[in-house]
Chains A and B, each alone.
Chain A
């Protein structure tokens, strides 16, 4: 194994294993998910998650 079993080693490993395109795609996907959850929260989505938000302890009211 080329890289040591440390956190830095893991970061290095991810860098060599994943192509820049893969990383960019992953980052974009996460950004899209985050954006959806944060800003596309219209009443329809927000209200239909009402029970879940209470069960998860993330409740507005």
Chain B
């Protein structure tokens, strides 16, 4: 049974990975490359490209790849500024970046599908409220809140080249902490909903499910603020942030839809493989 759940999760992940890989290839890759070019042109115009870029990569690359990236940008800074345009400091060519990013987009879908719709769904399915198809979408919502939604309350997707006031050493634990908070909010919302639905009825259950998310929002308000300053026009930055957020929403939506669809198709094939006991009654959280 576990293997079946994992297979179904990974299959949903493959579908979502294909869609997101396509999104990477035809939307995100060209746009990020264009935004990088714009940034580069702006930085060069202002006449402090070398200082700005090496300072930038020192500050914002932070803990991981700090030293090697720092030295790299020193070495390539002069020739790079002379070339004019192109990608900013990087260890690989733009073609490699594009190809690897498309592949990563596909794998991103598979990883999320396997982890959330394979493993987590297997354990949590009895506790997720609602009819069967709705469970897939609730899992998708919870996954989005955990992986992206909650951390974005503090650290929204940054447009390429934007400088952020918090260092990477601060932002990484902050991002991970908000992921944890998001997961806890989803789990406790589901738990509160199921419990209150049994004891106090639907309105109380809905209120109980909203409370953890209010706490999550309050947590985001008191978290350290990250000021983002970029060379791109604010309208373009807003658009890019919105597009990348939309991309993740799309990914989770496809994951959930594919997962719900694979459930239907596997049910018609092997009815006996899936437990039917207690399906129509509201399952207990424990």
Tell me the A residues contacting B by CB distance below 8 Å: 1, 4-11, 13-14, 17-18, 41-44, 46-52, 54-61
With A and B bound together, what is the CA distance between A43 and B76 in angstroms?
14
Instruction: Please report the total number of B residues contacting A with Cβ < 8 Å.
Output: 64
Within the complex, the shortest CB–CB distance from A2 to chain B, in Å, comes to: 11
> In the complex, which residue of chain A has the Cβ closest to the Cβ of B57?
A61
Within the complex, the shortest CB–CB distance from B68 to chain A, in Å, comes to: 5
- In the bound complex, do residue B64 and residue A6 qualify as a contact, i.e. CB atoms below 8 Å apart? no
- In the bound complex, do residue B244 and residue A54 qualify as a contact, i.e. CB atoms below 8 Å apart? yes
> In the complex, which residue of chain A has the Cβ closest to the Cβ of B95?
A48
**Residue A43 contacts which of B72, B101, B123 (CB distance < 8 angstroms)?**
B72
Within the complex, the shortest CB–CB distance from A42 to chain B, in Å, comes to: 6
- In the bound complex, do residue A7 and residue B91 qualify as a contact, i.e. CB atoms below 8 Å apart? no
Residues of B229-286 at the interface with A, using a CB-CB cut-off of 8 Å, are: 240, 244-245, 247-248, 275, 277-279, 283-286
User: Beyond A1-B275, A5-B279, A43-B91, is A50–B101 a contact (Cβ under 8 Å)?
Assistant: yes
- In the bound complex, do residue B248 and residue A57 qualify as a contact, i.e. CB atoms below 8 Å apart? yes
With A and B bound together, what is the CA distance between A41 and B31 in angstroms?
24
Chain B interface main SS type: helix
- In the bound complex, do residue A5 and residue B101 qualify as a contact, i.e. CB atoms below 8 Å apart? no
- Which of the 9-residue segments B8-16, B43-51, B154-162, B216-224 touches chain A? B154-162
Within the complex, the shortest CB–CB distance from B178 to chain A, in Å, comes to: 12
With A and B bound together, what is the CA distance between A49 and B189 in angstroms?
34
- In the bound complex, do residue B60 and residue A61 qualify as a contact, i.e. CB atoms below 8 Å apart? yes
Residues of B close to A48: CB separation below 8 A: 91-92, 96-97, 100-101
Residues of B close to A18: CB separation below 8 A: 2
Within the complex, the shortest CB–CB distance from B33 to chain A, in Å, comes to: 7
**Residue A51 contacts which of B60, B68, B101, B275 (CB distance < 8 angstroms)?**
B101
Residues of B close to A50: CB separation below 8 A: 32, 90, 97, 101
- In the bound complex, do residue B65 and residue A46 qualify as a contact, i.e. CB atoms below 8 Å apart? yes
With A and B bound together, what is the CA distance between A4 and B284 in angstroms?
10
With A and B bound together, what is the CA distance between A55 and B245 in angstroms?
8
